[in-house]
A and B are shown apart, each in its own frame.
Chain A
């Protein structure tokens, strides 16, 4: 059965226009009651009596118009560790350049340039020019190197190509244990470089109008991990990545006494230079045509959105705010054929998806100060994701070898209605209390549980008992209920009727946060915080049943003297979940308990003023230990999977020596020790699993000594 969606768009708009919020109406009426608010802002009465001609600012330090600081450095890494350069760009020995060139004129014209790690794999550059108070132009660039693994193996002779061919001597088999000749594999590394460029322009027109234009571009190039299956046999694919995302937005802000409005337009485009990847299967085909396969890649897509925000202040600190936006996502990439297998090729229902999703949003906010102690806040928000993509019947071909059953594509839709109302009280003794209620409703089309509603009650208390003691406590109690599950004719996979998906299942949520800050002296500060949250899916027999999170954090800062600062922290968190399942398609017969733990602690110090105030020393030591423990009870038998853990230690010492006002030297030593164990990756070599051919990655285990020497000169 194919549902008619032609009227859904009109219905959606009618809902936006005709859906009153009782909360907003009541509070608006309440806000119209006469109320007093103490005067806000600060200006002295005698401002007009100032004799500005005597305010010459003779003691004000005069900044040179042009200031340049250049720093040339050399980085020495003890071992060529691929993963160490992940995000950092540091690999092996290399020179790098950092620095800044700043020009600031007295009339407000300025040109700022900053560059960092030029010469490494993670360079960064920013240039900003403008006249303060009038206009500004900014260019920024950075590269983020994502370095996953090296020394990987693949049966493909040309990893990273979009037509992957097997190495010349490759012998197909049904069992990976027979892929035992290392000469038939090619070595390669997994990583993608992200290049980000941004251009911004802003202009201030008088006091009321400001204009902004932003352009951002993100290029990704490299090889990413993917996989292909040949009917319960899977082999990893070194997927080529070559894509560009571009985003351009324009905004106008109007700022008047009581009105503040923003109108903005945004266009975003994703282009993928790789529209498919063909590969020769390393496994023996079960049927004719199964020796090759073809994967689709992420299709080109576009998004456009226009939005209006407007705020009206009817009295000081009180306002009504309206936010409206309309957007559209589109995708119309030409389809690949069903299969590369000519024996099974049939006609497609259409040449491309012509996918279109409209998004709409309307929100109303009220913030009203009844007097200097009491205020109320309320919000109503309506958001709709209307998927206008047509529904067609397709005849998929499974792994290029078997004709599958006909399937209809399902364009999922969502409508969200969120609202909240809070009452806030505060007094000048620095206590404040907030009580609020919140409701989130979701209507999902084409999903088994159509409607859910989350109702929450929230309370917060904050107190500053004195300069030395501060306390914050908050809690939330929430209950979710959903409509009865329905059978969706379009979905031809039957789930266990006892299954309740965690995002729609009935759930009780409780959260408590507590933070205590103590300043025993001006130079000592301690913060301790703890959080506890618990999600109880009490009605769920199959699916997520229980989840709880607890963390404890401690932070100490000590300004020992004017020259010495010390810091200490300890943080730990534990997340535990229970998941129930059934292998018999009936009641629960297995249960998985998953525990995620992390503890992180560290120490930092800084000492200034050594050697006649020319030397500054700083350093830190940090250790993070994370574990995942998975235990399974399967029909009464208990077992435990090996721990997945990672241990990360970083020690960092930095010495900065100011030889003269213009010349300085920095010596920075970093020691990093990283070790991870992951049973799902480690030793999963050819033959470890008969039907799984991975890249034979091994979890990282390394330690690195990294020394950076730099000299900086200012002129």
Chain B
């Protein structure tokens, strides 16, 4: 029933052992013969000095059409393809704005054994490191790069723009709230799991997305929240809790997540733990706040005449009486009862 200390120690030791093993492997990998990085540098240098194609997108589309393995034509349904906007790829060097000059890539016939010259690609097999790929995107999307991206959690974590965004598609999944959870959940799996708990925000149904609370490119907040603090994010939709109140409840003014799990919880109202136990984490004055709420408070079903259900345990427990738990503005509400 209670946490077995020895099993905890075993788990900690196993994890430390795993970390040491991985660390050793990493050190070995670092000093061992590393994969040939000459190719990355060569590609950048090569593309820097390469010739652009003779006909721009028409050169590319001769091969990269609707039958090709990676469908590209849907980009023409997106803002990236608006030629009159000189900020867009098709307002500049078309496909080669992002993928680099064609050089010899569009050579019609290759000699036996000759490998076609690479283009800059934006997938996991790309020869360019993440920061170089991102640099190409941010050469146009400067606002994102300059406002907070550089030095942010995602940038330091080597997240590439194409890890989240899909360009050659009519609708980028990250720009639709209903599909954001699947994309973010590729890395943030535990948060995706939390959306399957009993009490959650309406993320699974598309009324909210990850970007309803988080600003994924740009934030001064450590958790990439849209506002300065977690409370301010909550008050966007729950402004009734903002106060100030005559009688304040101090954890409310400090941080909503002291009591609530915003990604989802098994308890009603997304509480981290149900009342009365959550409340008893902070309240232990004499009398009813400090009693042990065990099974003696349950409804006695075996003897219906002896209805012994306790209002300290059943219903909303403490909140049955202390209903204004976020704060009260009633002159008689010092105990948050009204």
- Point out the residue from B207, B220, B310 that lies within 8 Å of A144, measured CB to CB: B207
Bound CA span A79–B329, Å: 43
User: Nearest chain-A residue to B37 (Cβ)?
Assistant: A428
Q: Is the CB of A42 within 8 A of B120?
A: yes
- Point out the residue from B151, B158, B239, B282 that lies within 8 Å of A502, measured CB to CB: B282
User: Nearest chain-B residue to A239 (Cβ)?
Assistant: B323
A57-B90, A377-B156 known; A339-B332 Cβ under 8 A: yes
Q: Is the CB of A132 within 8 A of B314?
A: no
- A330 partner residues in chain B, CB cutoff 8 A: 244
- Point out the residue from A295, A553, A646 that lies within 8 Å of B330, measured CB to CB: A295
Bound CA span A503–B259, Å: 10
- Which residues of chain A in 492-522 are interfacial with respect to chain B, using CB atoms and an 8 Å cutoff? 493-496, 498-499, 501-503, 510, 512, 514-515, 519
- Point out the residue from A426, A626, A631, A681 that lies within 8 Å of B197, measured CB to CB: A626
Q: Is the CB of A543 within 8 A of B282?
A: yes
- Point out the residue from A243, A303, A335, A627 that lies within 8 Å of B331, measured CB to CB: A335
Q: Is the CB of B338 within 8 A of A55?
A: no
Bound CA span A433–B30, Å: 11
Bound CA span A348–B277, Å: 35
Binds B, one of A11-19, A161-169, A582-590: A582-590
* Cβ distance B300 to chain A, nearest Cβ, rounded Å: 9
Bound CA span A311–B240, Å: 35
Q: Is the CB of A548 within 8 A of B8?
A: yes
Q: Is the CB of A296 within 8 A of B333?
A: yes
A42-B136, A581-B290, A634-B294 known; A447-B321 Cβ under 8 A: no
* Cβ distance A303 to chain B, nearest Cβ, rounded Å: 6
Q: Is the CB of A494 within 8 A of B286?
A: yes
* Cβ distance A539 to chain B, nearest Cβ, rounded Å: 15
Bound CA span A534–B11, Å: 11
- Which residues of chain A in 414-459 are interfacial with respect to chain B, using CB atoms and an 8 Å cutoff? 414, 418, 422, 424, 426-434, 442, 444, 447
Q: Is the CB of A431 within 8 A of B314?
A: no
Q: Is the CB of B292 within 8 A of A503?
A: no
Q: Is the CB of A234 within 8 A of B320?
A: yes
* Cβ distance A618 to chain B, nearest Cβ, rounded Å: 13
- A683 partner residues in chain B, CB cutoff 8 A: 299, 301
- Point out the residue from B2, B51, B83, B202 that lies within 8 Å of A593, measured CB to CB: B2
Interface size class of A (residues with CB under 8 A): 35 or more
Bound CA span A519–B123, Å: 13
The reply on A77 being an interface residue by CB < 8 A is no
Q: A44-B50, A329-B243, A680-B314 are in contact. List 15 more A-B contacts (CB 8 A).
A: A44-B52, A46-B49, A132-B82, A227-B316, A255-B143, A301-B242, A331-B329, A429-B30, A499-B282, A534-B8, A581-B290, A581-B292, A642-B298, A644-B267, A683-B299
Interface string of A26-45 (1 = CB under 8 A from B): 00000000000000111111
Q: Is the CB of A689 within 8 A of B307?
A: yes
The reply on A394 being an interface residue by CB < 8 A is yes
Top-7 shortest CB links A-B: A55-B56, A689-B309, A367-B151, A355-B244, A590-B292, A298-B240, A553-B189
User: Nearest chain-B residue to A589 (Cβ)?
Assistant: B292
The reply on A174 being an interface residue by CB < 8 A is no
- B1 partner residues in chain A, CB cutoff 8 A: 593, 631, 633, 638, 640
Interface string of B221-250 (1 = CB under 8 A from A): 010000011000001110111111111101
The reply on A184 being an interface residue by CB < 8 A is no
Bound CA span A513–B88, Å: 39
A133-B85, A409-B247 known; A46-B2 Cβ under 8 A: no
Bound CA span A295–B197, Å: 32
Number of A-B contacts (CB under 8 A): 496
Q: Is the CB of A553 within 8 A of B190?
A: yes
- B85 partner residues in chain A, CB cutoff 8 A: 108, 132-133
* Cβ distance B294 to chain A, nearest Cβ, rounded Å: 4
Q: Is the CB of A692 within 8 A of B309?
A: yes
The reply on B35 being an interface residue by CB < 8 A is yes
Q: Is the CB of B266 within 8 A of A680?
A: no
- Which residues of chain A in 559-597 are interfacial with respect to chain B, using CB atoms and an 8 Å cutoff? 562, 571-573, 576-579, 581-583, 585, 589-594, 596
The reply on B109 being an interface residue by CB < 8 A is no
The reply on B173 being an interface residue by CB < 8 A is no
The reply on A156 being an interface residue by CB < 8 A is no
How many chain B residues touch the partner (CB < 8 A)?
A: 157
- Point out the residue from A331, A572, A692 that lies within 8 Å of B245, measured CB to CB: A331
Bound CA span A239–B156, Å: 48
User: What are some 15 contacts across the A-B interface (CB < 8 A)?
Assistant: A40-B131, A46-B101, A59-B62, A59-B65, A229-B323, A234-B320, A361-B228, A404-B334, A430-B35, A472-B157, A501-B282, A571-B190, A583-B290, A592-B277, A626-B196
Q: Is the CB of B284 within 8 A of A581?
A: yes
Interface string of A635-673 (1 = CB under 8 A from B): 101111110101010000000000000000000000000
- Point out the residue from A47, A311, A562 that lies within 8 Å of B146, measured CB to CB: A311
The reply on A10 being an interface residue by CB < 8 A is no
Q: Is the CB of A499 within 8 A of B284?
A: yes
Q: Is the CB of B84 within 8 A of A296?
A: no
- B331 partner residues in chain A, CB cutoff 8 A: 335-338, 348, 394, 396
Q: Is the CB of A228 within 8 A of B307?
A: no
Bound CA span A502–B250, Å: 13
* Cβ distance A421 to chain B, nearest Cβ, rounded Å: 12
Interface string of B116-152 (1 = CB under 8 A from A): 0000100011000101100110010011001100110
Q: Is the CB of B307 within 8 A of A133?
A: no
Q: Is the CB of B57 within 8 A of A60?
A: yes
A46-B49, A628-B266 known; A229-B94 Cβ under 8 A: no
- Point out the residue from B26, B83, B281 that lies within 8 Å of A579, measured CB to CB: B281
